[in-house]
Amino acid sequence: MTTNTLTVTTFKPDLRSAKGTTIQRGLKIRILRVVTLIFLDVIALTSAWTLAAYYGTSIEYLWAEQIPLLMFMLVTAISVIAVKGLYKPGKERRNYFGLIQAVSLAEILLLFIAFLYEPESYVSRSTFLIFWFCSVVFVCCDRFIFDVATKQLRCQGAIRHSVFLITDSQDQKNHIKLIEQENCYTVQGIADPSCLDLVNREATFEHLRKQGITEAFVSWNAIKNRLYVCWHFQTAGIILRILPMETDVCYPKSVFWMLGEVPCMTIPAPIIAGSDFWIKRCFDLSCSILVLLLLSPIYLAIAILIKLDSPGPVFFRQNRVGLHGKNFKIWKFRTMVNNAEKLQASLETNNEIKDGVLFKIKNDPRVTRIGKFLRLYSLDELPQILNVLVGEMSLVGPRPLPSRDVERFKTKHFIRQEVLPGITGLWQVSGRSDIDNFEDGVKLDITYIENWSLWLDLKILLETVRVVLQKTGAY
C-alpha cells in the first residue's frame, strides 16, 4: 500500500467556506425575469376580471365589486403558477399546458372560496366562464409576448448570461455550438480541464470572479472525481452546468435539464454563497458555549472520577490531522492508562479493522474502569468542545484521525481533509465502531461532504443523541 506524505503550506479555509459572503452571480437578470412575468400575469388576470364583470350577467353582489377578493384572487393565482414552477427559466415558463392547468386550478379554488365567503350571493355562469376563458388566453398571450421580446433583446446582445466553458480541446466546437443553441448565453472564455487541477484552481476561480461569470459549463470528463470543484463553484456563487453526461450518472444536489436535445446536469449555486458555512460556525460557537455552561458540573465530576480511578492527567491530548492536513491537539478525557500510546505497537496484531488503516480493538486492555463507562456514552469526547471554540473542529464533520492512520491513506481518502473535522458525523451515527472497514467509513464521510447542509448537520446531531443513549456500536 502506498503512503502519502502530509505537507502543509499556507492555511486554507474549509472547503464549504467562501472567501466572503457572495450574492449568486447573474441573480439580477433572474429576478428581473420573475418580476416581469408576475407583473404581466397580474395585468392579464386583472383584465380578465374586468371583462368578466362588464360582459357577464349583471348582479348586485358581483365579485368584481369586491376589491379584497380581487386581491386575494391575484395572490392565489400567482401562487399556484409559482408552485407549479412556471416562473422558472427555459421551457418551464413556456409550458402553456401547465399554465392552463394552473389558472384553471386557481379559479376553481377561488370559486369554492367565494361560495364559502358569500354563500348567499349569486355568481353567474357567464361571469365565471368569461373570467376563466379570458384568464387562460391573456396569461398564455403575455408569456408568448414575453418570449418574443426576450428573444429579440438577446439577439441584440442584452439580458444574456456570461458563461465560461471548460472542456477538452477536441470537444470545444461541439459544446460551443450546443451552448449557442439556447441563445441566452455569451461564452466569455474557454479552458481545458487542467484549469481545475490543484495547482491552477485558485487562479481559475479568481479569473472567473473578475470576469463576472454567472454560469460555468464543464464537461463530465473535466469534473468527475473532483468532488471539491463543485463546492468551489458554489461558494463563488457560480451555477455549474455539466455536459454532456452519461445517462446513468447522478450527482448530489443536481438538477437535470435539456440543452437542446442533450441531457445535462446543473449544480445550482445558493442565492447567498458562503452564508450557510458562517451560520454553521456561529451555531458551533453558540452551542459550545452553552454546553460548557450547562455541563460544567459533569465535567468536574468526570475529572474527579478519573483522578480517583487511575494515576495520570485528567485530559488526554493527542496529535490529530485536521483541515488540509494541518496537525492539531485534540482534547479528550483520559480513558486509558498513562502509557497507552507506547503499548499500541504491541497490540497492532489484534487490530480488528480489516484494511488496517484505523486501529480498533474490543476489550482494549489499556482502557481503565471509568474509561469504559466514558466510552460507552461517548463522554470522553466532551472536552473537544474546546477544539470547536478555537475553530479547529466543528460539531459535525468527518472525525479527525491520528497521523498513524492518515499516513496509510490512499489519494482518494484525502477529500476528508478538505472540511473541518467534527465531534460527530455521518459515520458515527451510522454504526460507530461496528463499521470494520475503513472504505465504508470514507464513503459515509464523502456522502456527508457531497450532501452537506445545515439541516443535515442538525439531523446528525439529533441522531447522535439517540445513538449515544442506545450505546450503539460503542466500545
- Comparing 21-30, 191-200, 320-329, the range with the smallest average pLDDT is 21-30
342 strand-pairing partners: none
Residue 361: band (very low, low, confident or very high) from pLDDT cuts 50, 70, 90 = low
Q: What is the pLDDT of residue 44?
A: 92
Instruction: Please check the confidence at residue 21 and state whether its pLDDT lies above 50.
Output: yes
- Comparing 4-8, 73-77, 104-108, 190-194, the range with the smallest average pLDDT is 4-8
Q: Considering the domain 160-273, what is its CATH architecture?
A: 3-Layer(aba) Sandwich (3.40)
- Amino acid in position 236: A
- Amino acid in position 20: G
How many angstroms separate the CA atoms of 427 and 472, rounded? 12
163 strand-pairing partners: 187, 215
Virtual torsion, Cα 100, 105, 108, 109, nearest 10 deg: -150
| Residue indicated by cell numbers 368569461 | 130
Task: Output the nine-digit C-alpha cell for 54.
Answer: 362588464
Q: What is the pLDDT of residue 61?
A: 47
Show Cβ contacts of residue 335 under 8 Å, excluding neighbours closer than 6 positions. 316, 367, 368, 370, 371, 372, 374, 375, 380
Instruction: Please check the confidence at residue 131 and state whether its pLDDT lies above 70.
Output: yes
Residue among 227, 221, 210, 226 at smallest CA distance from 244: 221
**Distance from the Cα of residue 474 to its chain's centroid:** 30
Select the more confidently predicted residue: 451 or 121. 451
Q: What is the pLDDT of residue 3?
A: 42
For 65-91, b where at least 16 C-beta lie within 10 A, e where not — what string? ebeebbeebbebbbebbbebebbeeee
Instruction: Please check the confidence at residue 14 and state whether its pLDDT lies above 90.
Output: no
HEC assignment per residue over 162-196:
EEEEECCHHHHHHHHHHHHCCCCEEEEEEECHHHH
**Contact predicate 98/84, CB 8 Å:** yes
Instruction: Please check the confidence at residue 248 and state whether its pLDDT lies above 50.
Output: no
Q: What is the pLDDT of residue 43?
A: 93
Element (H, E) at 190: strand 185-191
Instruction: Please check the confidence at residue 438 and state whether its pLDDT lies above 90.
Output: no
Prediction pTM value: 0.57
What is the residue-averaged pLDDT of the chain?
Answer: 79
Number of other CB atoms surrounding residue 408 within 10 Å: 18
How many angstroms separate the CA atoms of 105 and 23, rounded? 35
Show Cβ contacts of residue 173 under 8 Å, excluding neighbours closer than 6 positions. none
How many angstroms separate the CA atoms of 59 and 276, rounded? 55
Task: Output the nine-digit C-alpha cell for 159.
Answer: 439580458
Residue 62: band (very low, low, confident or very high) from pLDDT cuts 50, 70, 90 = very low
**Contact predicate 243/262, CB 8 Å:** yes
First to last CA, the chain: 28
Give the pLDDT confidence of 298-349 residue by residue, as tens digits. 999 999 999 888 888 899 888 899 888 889 999 999 888 876 666 666 666 5
Residues 97-116 have a mean pLDDT of: 82
How many angstroms separate the CA atoms of 299 and 385, rounded? 12
Residue among 418, 409, 399, 397 at smallest CA distance from 228: 418
DSSP strand pairing (315-321 vs 327-333): antiparallel
- Amino acid in position 288: S
Task: Output the nine-digit C-alpha cell for 384.
Answer: 473537544
Torsional sign, CA 242, 244, 250, 255: positive
Q: What is the pLDDT of residue 328?
A: 92
Per-domain residue ranges of the chain: 27-155, 160-273, 275-470
How many angstroms separate the CA atoms of 78 and 86, rounded? 10
Q: What is the pLDDT of residue 139?
A: 92
